[in-house]
Structures are given as structure tokens and as C-alpha cells.
Amino acid sequence: MIPPHPVCLLCIGRGSYEWRMRPIMRKNVLKKHIKVHFKDPQYQGEFECRHPSCSEKLDGIGHFMRHALDAHGVCH
């Protein structure tokens, strides 16, 4: 599943549907938002993609960003 607009794939498993799927139109805003997530210890090691139809194991921000683009069409 590819979202119709850029969304945070780390927020997608939290909160209400409307909040999770809110558009983040400016790429620089989404990139800053993602960097905040990666300060959290749960994303320092291996973690699972939070997209509802994916369970890929990811390791680090680079792996996450490449996966987000290749698998889900989201450029962070």
C-alpha cells in the first residue's frame, strides 16, 4: 500500500486514523520529524516497520528511509 500523500511511517501505527494519515506536505518538515523519532532508543537498534501491511526488520535511519521509499513510496 502506497499512501496518497507523504506520511510518517513511524507514526502510522499510533493514534487515530485521521492523525496517523495526516499529510505532511513539505519534505523538509517530514525529514525533521523522522529525525526526532530516531533520537528515541527504540529506533537505535533493530525495529519492525510500522506500516500495517509490512513486518520488515529495519536497522537504523538509512535502512528505514530506503525501505520507506522502495516498499511504500514515501520519501522522507
| pTM summary value | 0.75
pLDDT at 4: 64
pLDDT at 17: 66
pLDDT at 28: 81
Q: Which three cell numbers stand for residue 34?
A: 523522522
Q: Which has more pLDDT, 70 or 31?
A: 70
Please report where in the chains the cell 520488515 appears, as a residue: 56
Cα angle value 31/69/47 (rounded, 5°): 75
pLDDT at 6: 73
Bridge partner list, 47: 58
How far is it, in rounded angstroms, from Cα 12 to Cα 22?
Answer: 10
Q: Domains of the chain: which residue ranges?
A: 17-72
Please report where in the chains the cell 511511517 appears, as a residue: 9
The model's pLDDT over 21-66, given as tens digits with 9 standing for 90+, comes to 666 667 788 888 889 999 999 998 999 998 888 999 999 999 999 9
